[in-house]
Chains A and B, each alone.
Chain A
Amino acid sequence: MKKISFVLNGEKRNIYVEPNDLLLDVLREKLGVKSPKYGCGRGDCGLCTVLINGKSARTCLILAIEVDGQEILTVEGLSKDKLTPLQESFIKHNSFQCGFCAPGMIMTATELLEKNSNPTEEEVKEAISGNLCRCTGYTPIIEAILDVNKK
């Protein structure tokens, strides 16, 4: 077991992990942060996406010990006070159906809008192309992201 410390949704956390513990399992099982989901275990689906130092990352492909000293943001962190304009836009557009892809999709789109506040439709499609959704046909998700900062 190795002690690591990192900032999770604005709060410093210390925790003991095994060297082969996946970040996804540590977040869900040891820290009770349930929004990142298991979907494939090999980086194909994007359900487990969180932001590490502002960059989207697949927590099923990252060992927990790698995030020592880093800063992690999940949907729980976005939802603490009032929701972000992106989240409000998803609600307005009724974008999600089963909702299982929503946390990962939201983190990926959050990263996109941080880098590019007014993306084109093609840029949105490109940005979320690593986040699978089986329900929506993506259209209501793309529309919601495009709508966030629409003048």
Chain B
Amino acid sequence: MEEFKFIGKPVDRLDEREKVTGAAKYVDDIEFGPNLLYTEIIESPHPHALINNINTSEAEKVEGVVKIVTGKDFPYKFGLYMKDRYIFAQDRVRFIGEQVAAVIARDPKTALKAAKLVKVEYEPFSAVFDPVEALKEDAPVIHPELGNYPHVPWFFPKGGSNVAHLRKVRKGDVEKGFKEADFVLEDTYRIPRYAHCCLETHIAVGLLDYSGRLTVWASSQSPHTQRNLFADALAPLGFSHKDIRVIAPYVGGGFGGKAGVTMEIIAAALATAVKGNPVKVIWRRDQEFYNTYMRLQVMSKIKVGVKNDGIITAFEITNYWDAGPYAEYGANVVNASGLSATGPYRMPNVKIDSYCIYTNLPAAGPYRGFGYSEMLFSVESHMTRIAKAIGIDPVEFRRKNGIREGDSLTYGAPMNPNGLLEAIDKVAKEIDWGKKETLNDPDKAIGKGFAIFWKAPAMPPNVSSTAFIKFSEDGSLNVIVSGMEIGQGYLTAMAQIAAEVLTVPPEKIRIELPDTDRNPYHWQTVASHVTWANGNAVKRAALQIRDRIFEVVHEVYHYDKDTLYLEDEKVKCKLHPSFELPLKDFVIEGIQTKDGTYRGGAIVGSGSFMPEFTSAQQDPETSQGGHPNVHYTVGAAAVKIEIDKQTGKVRILKAVEALDAGKAINPMNVKHQIYGGLLQGFATALYEDMRFDENGKILNPNFTDYKIPTSLDIPDEVVPIIVEVPQPDGPYGARGIGEHPMIPAAPIIANAVEDALGVRIKSMPMTAEKIAMAILNDKKEVDDFLMIMKK
């Protein structure tokens, strides 16, 4: 096995000192000077209405108001995968809280005062909040123009309906599969919406300078994608990519919520209305809940057939996803999780219908897990029920049916190398699977739950990633990239990769945060793909530098390049053990030759990476053909819980999670992802819960009523396990793990609740109230779903 110096080591985070000293700058920490302008957004109070008139005359009279803009000023559509969204509402509003107009003023208090004087006349329509209701013939059509919207070729919107996209998968013969089955189980699961709850709310500051250059500072996972979408949407105003610059300093949490473009485009647009003045748009906490993205709601109808020996013969699922009124990004959640809706199982006969449906709840989109957390709640709850029904141990059932390298995926391509079986075995051992725990307290019950999971990066087939590397005089490095440090440890991983190739230790490497003017292209920091994609680009840039170093040394010393190598920041030669040339002696100033002249000069490198085997060209009716996903990261997880039978409260005694990282570039950071991601997942499983009134207005847009976990809510014990079956095209074998830790959290809880009490809960969250009521009423199955509160 190859020995590494920096790869696979718990190298300290590059950004920790800045963050612990208060030095780390987030967008709102940057000073924009005394001519900074502030904004207040006028929001729709209706879930679905025509805008008949907007009167700004009273508001404009307020001293300190600089400008008021409405949809008329920016009649431009935008969207990542489908252009269905406007910068400001045009003729109609489609959810409560939608931006209708903005006041720009010298200070925030004036902006707020003036915003209250803007008068908007609405003509309300009927609205729809349930995805299944929205499919009915008589449902209000939320986008009458849907048939004309531009979209990526792998989306299939149905004009005249609320279906923004339908992903269909047909593999084998599902009817035949069900006929062959000895046992078939069919049921419905429901998962509500959830909020990311980044502690830093969304913020963007735009500045159009007098020369016509537009700069946007944004808390962002996607600086290059934002520049691209701004340039596209604002092209009618004469902007091209060259004129637009996006700068992304540190981000106070992303989790998918700061991917793509949401409110940032408001700051970009407003800047064009107040040339010469920076203008700040910052969401208050309540706005953060309803006007960025949320996680999609889904109703999942699932039917699975098995033989008596436990082998799965047929799998059928219909997912009704509620994406809210703008599905430009959310439709890809539906697409990606549709293609992978089986979970990590070998399945000969598959039928999947994954509907992306418009509703009048706020827009939903990417959230850590990208649809897989939701889908795996249904699938992994169902698989445990089936295993138990036919008398097979649920872990054994997964060993029998778990996907292996080379097995055909739902779309026909082969599964990548993976350590699923190893993960299953290690988790089962750590949780003492099969050992029944007993309690003396009659008011408590104890149970264990198990699940397996997978996730592939969801992205277009041709996303690109690049890196620049340059030296300083002392041999230290600047690595210039455009992935984003959103807390996952990206900077450190990139430094470790550059360090490994060039033997320069990570503490001598500085990684630059993205600025689209200076930093080379990277699509977005999403999909758990940056370590893999950007890691490959950084490695290629470092290898290019190494080649250049050997070339220069060869030119001066005439040693064969193949005999040269790097060690401890020096160039050495296998044939001349006494030769060693420190990098710092020549990487900027070159190597002096015998006649006093120099060779070399400042050494720089660049690297670019794009997968060349992926394709989204699939048959729309079956999804066969093509190769939409680069690879899957797999894992297994288990939990041991104690339930208070009086209150229904769940205490997590022990949680175990194993992930196949391919190669953990930094095992410490992988473990830290597991601690954080699992807790985020447990919160969705047990108590986080987005509620709306019957008019579609969010009822709990704050941390008092939407509770995220505190330090008192953590499991008693968490055991992270790293499995390493290398990804052949990953840097040092690595593949992504950032989103994955939270994916199995809900099904392991559901399965443990059933193990403890014999109660199957089929809707999330599995609150103490639901559990206590089931015990009280002696119910064996619970499907109460409380997202929309009826009067």
Contacts and interface: CB of A to CB of B under 8 A. Distances in A.
Interface of A: 28, 32, 34-35, 37-42, 44-45, 47, 74-76, 78-79, 83, 87, 90-92, 94-103, 106, 124-126, 128-142
A99 B21 contact: no
A136 B29 CA distance: 23
Given A79-B21, A87-B21, A99-B16, 16 more contacts: A34-B22, A39-B285, A45-B703, A79-B23, A87-B20, A90-B20, A96-B20, A96-B487, A100-B252, A128-B711, A133-B711, A134-B708, A136-B672, A137-B678, A138-B675, A141-B711
Name the 10 nearest CB pairs between A and B, nearest first. A99-B19, A100-B252, A97-B487, A137-B675, A35-B22, A98-B487, A75-B22, A44-B703, A137-B679, A34-B29
A32 B33 CA distance: 12
Interface stretch (B195-203, B385-393, B408-416, B724-732): B195-203
Contacts of A131: 711
B26 A37 contact: yes
A97 B488 contact: yes
B486 interface: yes
8 contacts: A38-B201, A79-B22, A96-B487, A97-B676, A99-B487, A102-B24, A132-B708, A134-B680
B714 interface: yes
B264 interface: no
Interface string B330-341: 000000000000
B285 A41 contact: yes
Interface centre among A83, A96, A131 (most CB of B within 10 A): A96
Nearest to A125: B711
Contacts of B508: none
A45 B29 CA distance: 18
Contacts, number: 160
Contact of B199 (A39, A41, A141): A39
B252 A37 contact: yes
Contacts of B704: 42, 44
Interface centre among A32, A44, A75, A140 (most CB of B within 10 A): A44
A134 B683 CA distance: 11
A125 B489 CA distance: 25
Nearest to B30: A34
B679 A138 contact: yes
A98 B251 contact: yes
Nearest to A25: B108
Interface centre among A32, A39, A95, A126 (most CB of B within 10 A): A39
A128 B677 CA distance: 19
Contacts of A106: 20
A129 B710 contact: yes
Contacts of B199: 37, 39, 45, 47, 98, 100-101, 132-134
A63 B91 CA distance: 42
A34 B714 contact: no
B425 to A, nearest CB: 25
Contacts of B708: 132, 134
A41 B23 CA distance: 22
B22 A76 contact: yes
Nearest to A94: B13
Contacts of B507: none
B719 to A, nearest CB: 11
Tell me whether chain A's interface is mostly helix, strand or loop, or mixed. loop
Interface of B: 12-13, 15-26, 28-29, 31, 196-201, 250-255, 282, 284-285, 486-489, 668-669, 672, 674-680, 702-704, 708-712, 714, 718
B711 A142 contact: yes
Contacts of A78: 21
A96 B676 CA distance: 11
A137 B714 contact: yes
Given A34-B29, A134-B199, A134-B708, A102 B20 contact: yes
B424 to A, nearest CB: 23
Given A83-B21, A99-B24, A136-B672, A94 B12 contact: yes
Contacts of A141: 711
A87 B426 CA distance: 36
Nearest to A33: B22
B19 A102 contact: yes
B675 A139 contact: yes
Contacts of B18: 99
Nearest to A141: B711
A100 B672 CA distance: 16
Nearest to A136: B676
Contacts of B26: 37, 100
Contacts of B21: 75, 78-79, 83, 87
Interface centre among B199, B282, B489, B677 (most CB of A within 10 A): B199
B160 to A, nearest CB: 41
Contacts of B714: 125, 137-139
A36 B198 CA distance: 16
A130 B15 contact: no
A99 B19 CA distance: 5
A2 B712 CA distance: 41
Nearest to A75: B22
A100 B702 contact: no
Given A40-B703, A102-B19, A134-B680, A97 B489 contact: yes
Contacts of B13: 94
Contacts of B675: 136-140
Contacts of A133: 199, 711
A59 B299 CA distance: 43
Contacts of B200: 37, 39, 98, 100
Nearest to B674: A137
A94 B16 contact: yes
A129 B712 contact: yes
Contacts of B196: 134
A34 B565 CA distance: 46
A95 B675 CA distance: 11
B250 A98 contact: yes
A56 to B, nearest CB: 15
Interface centre among B24, B197, B704, B709 (most CB of A within 10 A): B24
Given A39-B201, A142-B711, A134 B19 contact: no
Contacts of B711: 124-126, 128-129, 131, 133, 138, 141-142
Contact of B668 (A39, A91, A94): A94
A90 B21 CA distance: 10
Contact of B253 (A28, A32, A42, A134): A134
A107 B301 CA distance: 49
B284 to A, nearest CB: 7
A98 B17 contact: no
Interface centre among A87, A101, A106, A136 (most CB of B within 10 A): A136
Nearest to B21: A79
Contact of B702 (A44, A96, A130, A136): A44
A125 B201 CA distance: 25
B360 to A, nearest CB: 27
A88 to B, nearest CB: 8
A15 B714 CA distance: 43
Contacts of B15: 99
Interface centre among A87, A130, A136, A139 (most CB of B within 10 A): A139
B267 to A, nearest CB: 17
A130 to B, nearest CB: 7
Contact of A98 (B23, B253, B669): B253
A42 B703 CA distance: 9
A134 B31 contact: no
Contacts of B29: 28, 34
A70 to B, nearest CB: 20
B22 A103 contact: yes
A20 to B, nearest CB: 9
